Amino acid sequence: MSIPTEPIGSIPRPRELLAAMDAAGGNATDPALEPLYEAAVRDTIREFEATGSPVISDGEQRKYQNFLTYSVHGSSNISPDGFKIPFSAGHTRRMPRLTAKPFKYFCYADEYLGFAQRFAHVPVKQAVISPSALSLLYPADGIVGYSREEFLNDLLDEHVTEVRRCLAKGASCVQIDFTEGRLAMKIDQTGSLLTRFIELNNLALTRFSAEERRRLGVHTCPGGDRDSTHSADVDYAELLPSLFALDVANFYVALAGEPDHEYVLKLIRDRVQPHQRVFVGVISPIDPRVETPEEVRDRILVAARYLPLQQLGTTDDCGFAPFCDDTSTSRATAFAKIRSRVQGTALAARELGLSDVS
């Protein structure tokens, strides 16, 4: 047995790519971007593999704009004036708004996966956005001739199609990004919004077999953008009981940035189910300081006091640049932090009498 370790997803894009994306004026398929996309993916995979990470991602280099709305960017029936997400640094991010039926993905994430697999020599995971996050595209005042129920049915169909395509293409894991979980409790302290999010995501998950769900995971964090968060002030106790009701095998839980690790670990211990593995965050992407492997080791040893080793894994709290224009963290820093996670996990595994990371 060993301690598995995986990334979350995004790596800061090269500045040349960001400049070209800006010049493209929102056209994600501008032919001028293609050689820069390829160079960014090649370099990201080369750097990722050099860290020793046993599982990698493509760094979301080809996800235009962000991890949240990549699937609908370029659609003709969305408007930019949707739901606002405020961050602690004082800025906001804005989701688009659906203006007409039908809801359809403009791009499926298996396209990114297949491209990355051309260059990778180790397993590649693929992150996708959750149905609950995309449910926020539907306007509060509705759409004439397109009920919310019809929209949600179309949304679930599209999400399941995307996940199946990623599984069929050989993703080592399909990670469903659920960063809006903690935010839901900030928006609606009664918990009803979070309950609706969990129910919606589980409606999608019921369409997969037990074997398929073993290759699925859910990532939760308080958001990460420009060295700030959108919901770190929400107590994990308000989220975690509902989180582990999601019918997947793997959970990627931000922990490194929390003020009291043991408090959160106790919450996890009391709620995780026997068939679930928790990848605890041991790296904080929004902290500019690079953690040492020894610090990572020590964080894992604490986690091992609360979680059975067969249910423990390690990860980063969040992606390093979920919104592509976020340059607050350099690529060099991101890879240095990942290297510390990999090395620290190996140190912890040896101290716990286990084999090296898988």
pLDDT tens for 10-22 read 999 999 999 988 8
Residue 9 included in any domain: no
Q: Which residue has the tokens 């659609």?
A: 75
Contact (Cβ atoms closer than 8 angstroms) between residue 52 and residue 343: yes
Residue 7 included in any domain: no
Q: Which residue has the tokens 């990201």?
A: 44
Mean confidence (pLDDT) of the chain:
94
Backbone angles phi, psi at 40, to 5 degrees: -65, -40
Residue 113 included in any domain: yes
198 has a pLDDT exceeding 90: yes
pLDDT tens for 216-274 read 999 999 888 888 889 889 899 999 999 999 999 999 999 999 999 999 999 999 999 99
The C-alpha atoms of residue 60 and residue 67 are separated, in whole angstroms, by 8
The C-alpha atoms of residue 335 and residue 283 are separated, in whole angstroms, by 11
Whether the full predicted model's pTM is greater than 0.85, yes or no, is yes
pLDDT tens for 119-134 read 999 999 999 999 999 9
Residue 357 included in any domain: no
Contact (Cβ atoms closer than 8 angstroms) between residue 340 and residue 354: no
Residue 114 included in any domain: yes
pLDDT tens for 39-55 read 999 999 999 999 999 99
Residue 328 included in any domain: yes
Residue 3 included in any domain: no
Specify the length of the chain in residues.
358
List, as own/partner pairs, every contact residues 289-293 make where C-beta atoms lie below 8 angstroms and the sequence separation is at least 24, other chains included.
290/333, 290/336, 290/337, 290/340, 291/256, 291/337, 291/340, 291/341, 291/344, 292/340, 292/344, 293/340, 293/343, 293/344, 293/346, 293/347
31 has a pLDDT exceeding 70: yes
The domain in which residue 216 lies consists of 15-351
If one counts the domains in the chain, the total is 1
pLDDT at 358: 53
Residue 8 included in any domain: no
Instruction: Identify residue 357 by its one-letter amino acid code.
Output: V
CATH number at residue 41: 3.20.20.210
Q: What's the rounded mean pLDDT across residues 167-176?
A: 98
